[in-house]
Structures are given as structure tokens and as C-alpha cells.
Chain A
């Protein structure tokens, strides 16, 4: 499991970084989304992997933490998901606006050859 998840994170991050370095703004958006998946999974994995562990506790009383999934990375990732959604939205709008203003979808606002 660990190896597969690590490889998955690697693929997501690699694809994300590749797209982030591309010149078209849409590529960068998709790249950031993929990168966000990778990073979210990475943060999530920091709490180790629990397969089939109960995420929800019974009511009341003392419980043994070892039997449950680590909630802290989960809540961190939950926050991260929402924030990455917000940044995606913001970047999308910046992209649309920049496209309207500059007439191109190049990240620098101008094509490479017309400096």
C-alpha cells in the first residue's frame, strides 16, 4: 500500500510540476489542481495509512486511539481541499481577466516571440 500510494503521489506531483512549468495559463491551472491532489494525499499520508479503521468514535468514554484513523491530518487536508478550491477559482478568474486584457493565454501576458 505504502509504495503504491507513494508512487501515486509522485505521479501526481510530477504531472503537476510539468504542467506548472508550461506557458499556457490553462495548463498551469490543471497543473495546480494535480499538484494539490498530490500534496493533499501526502499530508494525509503523514498520519500513516489506516485501512478499515473506524473514523467515527462511539459515544462517550475512553477509547484506544490506536484503533482509529489519525484525525489531525484529515482535518488539515479538509482545510487544504477547500483552500485549493478557492485558489483554483481565483486563478481561473485571473486567467479569464488576463486573457481579456492581454489577448493571449500565455502566462506572461505576451507570446514568447513578441517581447
Chain B
């Protein structure tokens, strides 16, 4: 049980730390570093405590039930292999966190960097430890996402944005392929549990879908681990800060691809297809990566291609798949992470202290920074595979694997030669790195005078290089046990005996190694001047420039194709588009209604119907009048529209819906006020628009009239079709039965809104808040058309004084009404749960009270006396609603579960009280804030225009808060 909790903590700790890091102040750089470092240290500690549980091929697992109905559990499982990988993630993470503290400039955002790095560590931990293959993909995609954020860390730089996007598109598409592969894999194996899948190996490889699964799976792994032909994203990812490159793009994240290759080797591997594809691509990547690395002038570019090459090596080992090869793969994962991370950090130090990473400019740095030089030289010697260093050992094992295993296929026969050639290039670029950067004459045109970095910045490199040496000299003692544990988890009980030794005698791998070294030295030294000053890449690489293909396909997919689709599908102009939509709806309605039997007896007309009919005669006249007048007589149309609204309101009253009537009436007022305010910014329409009466315009109108008639008839028919059928069992009955018992209110409509369906209401008020903010944002930088910029004619004639005198009596009444309306609003609010009213109505009412004050006096007068902070009201409302919702979690209920009871208050008597009422208060507050914000924002426009001649401040308190 303790072990299980520790395992869960291992995944959770970095995420929690990430949340904390994001909230720390920007200046607290040391605190960030401590937080991140400590969380990594805690992970290491937990790993240390859990190690005994993972030896002898055992594993720890713990699970959280997540979505049990679809078999999705958060299962975490750690065996020896995952343990070793986790040590890399946490250990190198610890060093990177320290290094980043000194690498980043003081004006870089530390919270963002550390939060992303920690979240990445968490995602990586989830990926490695996931015991469910679907969850594995989820965490896998999370690592891609973290990588995207981190590559784009300096988002003002074009190359950072492009690199980030490229890496996300490539790795996330690979992740999608992996997801499909995992789903199919789970279906074949009968479970999504990792262990079950791994045990179902023969069933999977024998299945008809095996080739498909394998292809998709490998697409996922190859994109992540930057194998050909998907390698191009990794060099572009070097736009990331160097700590990120060291951590994600050399030591851990790119290893995720080879991690799944090794992890799923029991399930998918061992077939000829596996060998041919995986080994083939691995070797090709290894060779081409190494060749290209030799020609790179950018330090990080060289290291990136070198990483690609080494990932190719590990992939090839996974493809070979013999126990020895798998052991070598695990060993090389660790070794490469150690020496490559240290090299990236060293490159970062060089960049940091000299101001450039261009190897054509760097030279003779061994004199200026001897310690860093010594460390970097040792690390690159490890990369080259020099004896007594860790790289040598795993490279020997790799040679042995390529040399020994023999299935007689052409690829297998070629493997040792490719391996030697690639290693020769590897030695060559390592040598170039050492010779070019640290030796030779002093460079004089460096942007900065080079010197040794801060001791703590160098410390991580020192630690890693020390590990390189330790493993290289005492491999069995340092890493033997862990490697044994990891391999046991991977290969199973029939693990062959192996022991890491520096000296195996003069055997084939040693000869291959010697040839590679010698050849490597020659490869660099003979054409040295061409390499040092020549082109940035080889002709071959340029010819198969996948990045350009990628860009071209992105161009087609994201620009040309959508444009073509737009041309094909969209109409010219809004009207045609709307017409198409309306016609489509009309066709749909006709399709639904055409089979109905219309031979139903119509109900008889009585006096009640007569009055109702008269009412709607007025309503219909208003609606048609509004439609008719909206072009030239906007004000008349507005009033007529209001008339139709009032009739609608009356209908609600008539048909037993008082709540609707109240809300409709209030919203009607607010809408009318809003439109009135907006009217002034429209162009004058006292002259007839040219060619409004010609034949084509008439034709258009006639066509639209037909459509409108069709729609009207359709709506009538549809309404009749429903109204004349007897109702079935309605959901409403359930609400009626339970509103009082469960919701504690007698106004069922309100109970539904704030209790049963509160989540809908929550979404709705969010919409309102978004609209309010959008209105505010749109109007902040608003510039009216020139001809409506001056004051309206009436005001120009009489001036402000006259206007005030003109409105004197109404103004006084409106000011007096302020308090009664507030009281009304409170009344509406409190009775809402039991009687018509509620948060909406109360909010709109109070907003109308404010609006009246604005109408009654000029804006400055009002704002000198009244402080309205609509933003705060909105914020408070949304927060209250969310808090009330979240509060039910504390009591173990789902989000927004309400609790209701009646409180007995002295003097007042029994008062209904429920948490839904608090929620309703949130609704109230938000509705008030949003409406006031919108009205004020529009009303302020005239103020700003009026004061334009004077150099008044532009944002004259559009929002006082």
C-alpha cells in the first residue's frame, strides 16, 4: 500500500510542483529553482525507496479508478526498466533545473519555464509508469504538448514558433497513430492493461491486423524519436532554450519512442517485419544523422543530428531484438542521456559566455575556459566511443549485436558495415567539436569575451561527466545491478548472464571499434578545411529535404486546401450565405412535415380566442411593420419591434408563464435601450438608396419575400403539427414532482434553472460574461464614422443646458426611482425560489436602475456620484457561481449539487435558504455586471466623441474598475 501511494506520488509530485511554480512571482528565481530541484529530489528519493520492489523482475502497481465504465483506469506500474528510465528523468531533471537557473536571462519568464519543465517531467513520469496503454498515449501526447510549449518558449522569435509548431504537428500526429495502434492492440489482446498486452505477444503477431498495428505503432515511435524520415523536427526544435534541449530533446522525451519500442518488443517484436523495418530505419537514421552532424556549423545543430544518429542506434538495437541487443539498448539509453545532456549543457555554457554557437567563429576556448573545455572534451570523447568512457561500452555491445546476430538477410549482412561507418562519422564529428571549439588560435570576433561560467552552472556538467567516467571505468559496479534489473523486466527470466567489462580481449567488436575510430579521425582531418568552412549540410541531405516537403504539405493542408474549400462552399457575401442556410432549413422542415396528416379537426373559436386573436393581430401588425420600416425608419421599426415583444410578453402571461413574462419585459427594456444607444452610429438614411427601385433590387426582394413566406408558413405548420398532437409523458412532470422535495422551492422554473439544470445556467452566464467582455473590448478602440462623429443635431442647436431643462421633470423622477428599483430588484431576487422572479430578473432590473440614472443626467454627473464596477460584479458573479458549484465537492457530491432548507429567522419568519440561492446570487451579479458593462460601454462612445476636440484622455473611465 505504501509502495502504491509512493508510485502515485511519483506521477503527481511534478504536476503539483508545476502548478506551484506557475504561481510563484516572476522575480523569485531562486525559489523556482529550489522548488523544481526539490521536487526532482523527492522523485529520486521515492525511486530509491521503491527500488527493492522492482528487482528480480517484480513490479509495483497502483491504480485509481477513473472512468470505470469504459475500462479506463489510472493504473501505474513500475518495473526495473521503467525505474531506470524514471531515474534518468528525475536525475537529469534535477541537474537541468539547476542549470536553467543560471542559463536563463533575468528578463525571461521563470514561472513559465519551470512550470512547463515540471509539467513535462510529470507527463514523462505518467508515460513511463502508465500501466494502461491508452493512458500511456495520453501522457505521451502531454509530453509532446509540453515540448511544444518549451520549444516556443521565446515565442517572439519566428524560428521558435515554427520549430514548436513543427514538432507538435509531427509528434502529435505520430501520437494519434500510436493511439489507433493501441486501441487495435487492446482489442486484439482483449484488454488495455499493459501486462495483459505484453503477454499476448503471439496472438498479436499472428493476427491479421498485425501489419497495420505495427505500421501505426512505428509511426508513433519514429516520429517521437526523430527517425528517418521524420527526423527534421528535432534540429528545428533547437530553437528552444538549451536546458530544454538538454532535457527534452536529447535525454528524455525523444527517448520515449525507443522506450515504447523496447517496452512493446514482447508484444510486437520478434517478427521479420519488425527486424527489417526497425533495424533498417534505425541504421539509416544512424548513418545519415552522423554524416549530417559532421557538416553542421551550429553547435546545437551538430548535437541535434548526433542525437538523431544515436537514437537510430538504439532503434536498430531494438529492431535486432536479441537479449544482448536489448541490454545494449537500455545501456545506451542511459549512456547517451548522460553524455549528451552534459554536451548540450556545455554548448549552452559556450553560447552563454561567448554569445555564439557558430563553430566557424569559435576557436581556442580551452585557454579561456579550461574546466568547461576539459568536461566537454571528456563528454564528446564518450560520444565518440573512446575507451574508459561509457559511450565506448555500449558501442562495443552494439557492434557485437550487429556482428553476432545473423538471419542471413541482406540487411543483417550489411549491418556491421553500416554500424562501423556511422561510428566513424560519429568519431569524426566529436573530434571536430573538440578540435574546432577548444583548440586552435584564439577567436577574436566573439560577441562576448569568453570566461568560465558560474560554478553552479558548471556543476551539472561536472556531475554528468563524472558519471560518464565512473560508468566507463567501473561499469559493473556502477550500473551493472540496475542494468540487470532493467533487463530482467524487459526480457524476462531467461535473461542471459552478462557482465559489463572494459576489456574483452581483441575480438570482433574491438576491431570494429578501432577501425571506426581510425576512419573517423581520417574523415575529419583529411578534408578538414572543407568541412570547417564549407556548406552547412551534405548534398544528399539537401536533396531529400524533408522539412521542405513538410512545409509544402503544410502549405497545402492549412492554406490552399481550406481556401479551395472556402471557394467551393462559401457564397459571395453574407446575404447569399444566410439565404442558403435558410433554404436548407426550409428544405429540412419540408422533409419532416410533408408526410403529416393535416386532416385534424380545428378547435372551435370562442370569445377567449377572439381576444387572443385581436392581441396577436396587433402583434403581427407590429412585426410586419417593423420588417417593412427597418430600412428607412429605424426608430419606428424599433418601437414596432418592441410592440411585438410586448405582445409576446402578454402571451407568456396568458399562458401561465409569469417568470417568462417578467424576464421578457425586462430584457425588452434593456434591448430597446441598447438599440437606441446604437442607432446614433448608423449612417443617415433620409435619402433613398440609389438603385433601390430598379428591377434587380425588386427581384431580389420578391425572392426573399417568397422565402420569408415559406419560412413563416413552415413555422406555423410545424407549431400546429406539435400543438394539435396530444402531449406524451413530459420530463416536466418529473421536475414538478421533485422541485419542492429536492430543490426546496415552489417556483419550478427557477428551481430548474438554479438547481436541476444549474450547469446549463452556469454555461449561460459564462456566455453572457464573454459577450460583455467582447463588447467592452470591441468598443475600447472604436472609431466612429466621420459623419456620425459630431453631436446630434438637436444637441447642437440647444446645447447641454437646454437639454437638461427639457428633461428636468423626468430626470428628477428617474433619480428618485433609483432606490425603489433597487428594492424591487432585491424583492425579485429573494422571492425567486418560490415565486416569479429570480437572479436574471433581479439583475436586469438593477441594471435598468443604473441605466435610468445615465438617461436622467449626463454621464459625468452620474459617475461623479455613483461608482459602478461592472467588471467586479461580473467577476464576483462568476466566481460565486463556480464556488457554490465546487463547494458541493467538499461534501462529496457532484459539481453544483444544491442543498435546500428553510431557515427560521426571528421577526421575518421562515425564509427559504438553499445553496441554489447563492448560485442565483452569482447569476444576479453577473447579469447585472454584463448588462451595465455593455450599456455603459456603448453610452460612453458619445462622451468620447464629444470630448474629442479637447485633448481629453481617450479612455475616459469607460470602466471605472
- A residues contacting B by CB (< 8 A) are 1-27, 29-31, 33-34, 37-38, 40-42, 44-63, 65, 68-75, 77-79, 81-83, 85-90, 92-97, 99-101, 103-105, 107-108, 113
Q: 3 shortest A-B CB distances, which residue pairs?
A: A14-B712, A10-B716, A18-B708
Complex contacts, A108 vs chain B, CB 8 Å = 573-575
Q: Are B748 and A71 in contact (CB under 8 A)?
A: yes
A86-B768 contact, Cβ under 8 Å, with A4-B612, A63-B736: yes
Given contacts A17-B582, A51-B654, 9 further A-B contacts (CB under 8 A): A1-B609, A2-B724, A17-B712, A18-B704, A25-B682, A30-B626, A31-B627, A51-B608, A72-B730
Complex contacts, A100 vs chain B, CB 8 Å = 681, 782-785
In the assembled complex, the Cα of A4 lies from the Cα of B722 at a distance in Å of: 14
- Nearest to B638 among chain A residues (CB) is A30
Selected A-B contacts with CB under 8 Å, 21 pairs? A2-B720, A11-B624, A12-B648, A22-B575, A33-B645, A47-B727, A55-B659, A60-B740, A62-B737, A65-B732, A74-B659, A75-B753, A79-B760, A81-B663, A82-B667, A87-B771, A88-B671, A90-B774, A92-B678, A97-B779, A101-B783
In the assembled complex, the Cα of A93 lies from the Cα of B737 at a distance in Å of: 43
Partner of B715, one of A13, A25, A86: A13
Partner of B732, one of A19, A34, A72: A72
Beta-carbon contacts of B898-929 to A below 8 Å, as 1s and 0s?
00000000000000000000000000000100
In the assembled complex, the Cα of A7 lies from the Cα of B624 at a distance in Å of: 13
Tell me the B650-665 residues at the A interface (CB within 8 Å): 651-652, 654-660, 663-664
B767 at the interface (CB under 8 A from A): yes
Q: Are B682 and A99 in contact (CB under 8 A)?
A: yes
Q: Are B651 and A41 in contact (CB under 8 A)?
A: yes
B775 at the interface (CB under 8 A from A): yes
Complex contacts, A17 vs chain B, CB 8 Å = 582, 707-708, 711-712
Question: How distant is B546 from chain A, measured CB to nearest CB, in Å?
Answer: 42
Tell me the B570-589 residues at the A interface (CB within 8 Å): 573-575, 578-579, 582
Beta-carbon contacts of B444-483 to A below 8 Å, as 1s and 0s?
0000000000000000000000000000000000000000
B389 at the interface (CB under 8 A from A): no
- Nearest to B771 among chain A residues (CB) is A86
Partner of B740, one of A31, A59, A107: A59
Partner of B731, one of A21, A72, A103, A104: A72
Beta-carbon contacts of B827-845 to A below 8 Å, as 1s and 0s?
0000000111000100000
B619 at the interface (CB under 8 A from A): yes
In the assembled complex, the Cα of A63 lies from the Cα of B616 at a distance in Å of: 34
| Count, A-B residue pairs, CB within 8 A | 317
Partner of A82, one of B655, B656, B927: B927
Complex contacts, A59 vs chain B, CB 8 Å = 740, 746
Interface centre among A8, A44, A57, A87, by most chain B C-beta atoms within 10 angstroms, is A8
Question: How distant is A67 from chain B, measured CB to nearest CB, in Å?
Answer: 9
Complex contacts, B608 vs chain A, CB 8 Å = 1, 51
Taking residues whose C-beta sits less than 8 angstroms from the other chain, chain B's interface range is 35 or more
Interface centre among B715, B723, B774, by most chain A C-beta atoms within 10 angstroms, is B715
Q: Are A26 and B682 in contact (CB under 8 A)?
A: yes
Question: How distant is A113 from chain B, measured CB to nearest CB, in Å?
Answer: 7
Tell me the B143-166 residues at the A interface (CB within 8 Å): none
- Nearest to A110 among chain B residues (CB) is B573
Q: Are A37 and B644 in contact (CB under 8 A)?
A: yes
Partner of A29, one of B651, B675, B716, B757: B675
In the assembled complex, the Cα of A37 lies from the Cα of B664 at a distance in Å of: 10
A11-B736 contact, Cβ under 8 Å, with A97-B779, A107-B574: no
In the assembled complex, the Cα of A1 lies from the Cα of B607 at a distance in Å of: 11
Complex contacts, A55 vs chain B, CB 8 Å = 656-659, 747-749, 836
Q: Are B623 and A68 in contact (CB under 8 A)?
A: no
Q: Are A38 and B715 in contact (CB under 8 A)?
A: yes
Q: Are B578 and A19 in contact (CB under 8 A)?
A: no
Q: Are B764 and A79 in contact (CB under 8 A)?
A: yes
In the assembled complex, the Cα of A103 lies from the Cα of B920 at a distance in Å of: 42
Complex contacts, B671 vs chain A, CB 8 Å = 33, 85, 88-89
Question: How distant is B641 from chain A, measured CB to nearest CB, in Å?
Answer: 5
Q: Are A47 and B644 in contact (CB under 8 A)?
A: no
B443 at the interface (CB under 8 A from A): no
Complex contacts, A10 vs chain B, CB 8 Å = 712-717, 719
In the assembled complex, the Cα of A98 lies from the Cα of B722 at a distance in Å of: 41
- Nearest to B649 among chain A residues (CB) is A37
A75-B757 contact, Cβ under 8 Å, with A63-B736, A82-B663: yes
Question: How distant is B95 from chain A, measured CB to nearest CB, in Å?
Answer: 52
Q: Are B719 and A6 in contact (CB under 8 A)?
A: yes
Q: Are A34 and B663 in contact (CB under 8 A)?
A: no
Tell me the B484-529 residues at the A interface (CB within 8 Å): none
Question: How distant is B809 from chain A, measured CB to nearest CB, in Å?
Answer: 30
Question: How distant is B598 from chain A, measured CB to nearest CB, in Å?
Answer: 12
A51-B656 contact, Cβ under 8 Å, with A7-B616, A30-B641, A96-B681: yes
